[in-house]
A and B are shown apart, each in its own frame.
Chain A
């Protein structure tokens, strides 16, 4: 995948979307779409992205819970606390 550095504004928007509350209608797809964005900028790894994909049709399914259940380690899970990539 060709990766381009997005603007800080776009990162901010996608961060909000990634942390859309579990349970909101359509939130699984919203989180997965945002996870793909962060995969492209290197802040979400492929295993984490896959868990977001698995949860994408289940709005009540928290990818973090699934990761714990499946024993998948989530590097950079809390993107809120990581440094933003320079644009």
Chain B
């Protein structure tokens, strides 16, 4: 289904409230979110170009779970729990690297083939005969979509990534993202807010004119969001015809040079594909990138992302990409400040809750996705922490969804 054919209309009368403030600082709710929202939904671990060679690996930790994504000797991408079958130690301890021959546990020295099977236990004479398949590394559900490697630690409500993102397929394919290569590697940054405050800012463009002078100069009023429907959203900003007033934007508009294979309608646009619950893939004429956020505690989150470029980038495209990163870096810093302001409101006894604009309908539809998974979000007042899980499981909670 094409995004445009979905019902993106904003209803005339909709509940303009956001989630209750207590949802942003409840440890018991956070535990439910970790279990039912993060580990059961697709997460981007990396791009295939982050692991270019046989034996290349990258790790991806999510709360108490940890994954290793690697290429075997046949250059296939595989995902395993980064857990030795012996005592559970991490098999690789670096974020990224290369194991040219085998994975070797740093604890006792068990050796695994790159296909995950056990090559052998250290001091093999101290064990009975062992079946190399029985003691193989445990695979993690994985799917590659346009070069991005998605993993899911537990089965969940989402369909396959290909099905989930089917409405983006044609558009995404035109960027040839799978052929892209890394720019600066995967970055992480801690942010002093609840993870939902990051989403609350990112899911609307109402703030762009006020808070992002660079983006306003770049695409201004052309920017629009589609609401979250069936777990995805889409936003687009087409370059305005002005020359640009700010140095980076002015020069970016001057130097931006699309990749040859891009259709003309994407030559002067930045696209953002939102993927519930916490991932965005963005595309510019020069780059593709992803970003996501994970809760560390009720009041801190980890922001994570990576940017990829056309492998055959020329000098002009490199210049434009540099300018893109400048605009983007400013935007991220501005957004972090907005998330802090939004998040601190949730701690105030006197904040009366969101009253959302039609231009923030995506925030509401995103919250509805959360409510569908955890009905306890519908409680206006904070329930006792000890009762959180049982209340969530009960069917007596009145729903508070947009009709």
A contacts, CB < 8 Å to B: 1-2, 14, 17, 26, 29-30, 32-34, 36-37, 39-40, 46, 49-50, 53, 56-57
Chain B residues near A50 (CB, 8 Å)? 122-123
Bound-complex Cα distance A14 to B130 (A): 22
- B84-143 CB contacts (< 8 Å) to partner A: 98-102, 104, 106, 109, 111, 119-125, 127, 129-132
Bound-complex Cα distance A49 to B131 (A): 19
Count contacts between A and B, CB distance < 8 Å: 53
Query: Knowing that A33-B119, A49-B124 are A-B contacts, what are 8 other residue pairs whose CB atoms are under 8 Å apart, sorted by A's residue number?
Result: A1-B120, A1-B130, A2-B129, A17-B101, A26-B99, A29-B99, A53-B122, A53-B123
Where chain A touches its partner, the secondary structure class is helix
Given contacts A26-B98, A56-B109, contact A46 B119 (CB under 8 A): no
Residue of A nearest to B120 (CB): A36
Among A17, A36, A46, A53, find the residue whose CB has the most chain B CB atoms closer than 10 A: A36
**Would you call A40 and B104 a contact (CB within 8 A)?**
no
Chain A residues near B106 (CB, 8 Å)? 57
**Would you call A39 and B100 a contact (CB within 8 A)?**
no
Given contacts A1-B121, A1-B124, A2-B131, contact A36 B111 (CB under 8 A): yes
Chain A residues near B120 (CB, 8 Å)? 1, 36, 39-40
**Would you call B130 and A26 a contact (CB within 8 A)?**
no
Given contacts A26-B100, A36-B119, contact A53 B129 (CB under 8 A): no
Partner of B100, one of A2, A17, A37: A17
Minimum distance in angstroms from A48 CB to a CB of chain B: 12
B contacts, CB < 8 Å to A: 98-102, 104, 106, 109, 111, 119-125, 127, 129-132
Bound-complex Cα distance A1 to B133 (A): 11
Minimum distance in angstroms from A35 CB to a CB of chain B: 9
Chain A residues near B121 (CB, 8 Å)? 1
Given contacts A2-B130, A36-B119, A56-B109, contact A29 B104 (CB under 8 A): yes
Given contacts A17-B101, A34-B101, contact A46 B109 (CB under 8 A): no
Chain B residues near A17 (CB, 8 Å)? 100-101
Residue of A nearest to B110 (CB): A36
Residue of A nearest to B125 (CB): A46
Residue of B nearest to A47 (CB): B125
Partner of B109, one of A2, A14, A32: A32
**Would you call A32 and B124 a contact (CB within 8 A)?**
no
**Would you call A53 and B100 a contact (CB within 8 A)?**
no
Closest 3 CB pairs of A and B: A33-B102, A33-B101, A36-B120
Bound-complex Cα distance A39 to B29 (A): 51
Chain A residues near B119 (CB, 8 Å)? 33, 36-37, 40
Residue of B nearest to A29 (CB): B104
Chain B residues near A32 (CB, 8 Å)? 104, 109, 111
Chain B residues near A14 (CB, 8 Å)? 101
Bound-complex Cα distance A34 to B99 (A): 12
**Would you call A39 and B98 a contact (CB within 8 A)?**
no
Chain B residues near A39 (CB, 8 Å)? 120, 124
**Would you call B132 and A30 a contact (CB within 8 A)?**
no
Given contacts A46-B124, A50-B123, A53-B109, contact A36 B102 (CB under 8 A): yes
Among B119, B123, B129, find the residue whose CB has the most chain A CB atoms closer than 10 A: B119
**Would you call B101 and A2 a contact (CB within 8 A)?**
no
Bound-complex Cα distance A50 to B119 (A): 15
Bound-complex Cα distance A59 to B176 (A): 40
Bound-complex Cα distance A15 to B129 (A): 25
Bound-complex Cα distance A25 to B325 (A): 33
**Would you call A2 and B132 a contact (CB within 8 A)?**
yes
Bound-complex Cα distance A36 to B105 (A): 13
**Would you call B131 and A33 a contact (CB within 8 A)?**
no
Minimum distance in angstroms from A58 CB to a CB of chain B: 13
Chain A residues near B130 (CB, 8 Å)? 1-2
Residue of B nearest to A4 (CB): B132
Minimum distance in angstroms from A5 CB to a CB of chain B: 14
Given contacts A29-B99, A36-B120, A40-B119, contact A1 B129 (CB under 8 A): yes
Chain B residues near A33 (CB, 8 Å)? 101-102, 104, 111, 119
Chain A residues near B109 (CB, 8 Å)? 32, 53, 56
Chain B residues near A40 (CB, 8 Å)? 119-120
Minimum distance in angstroms from B68 CB to a CB of chain A: 15
Bound-complex Cα distance A34 to B121 (A): 13
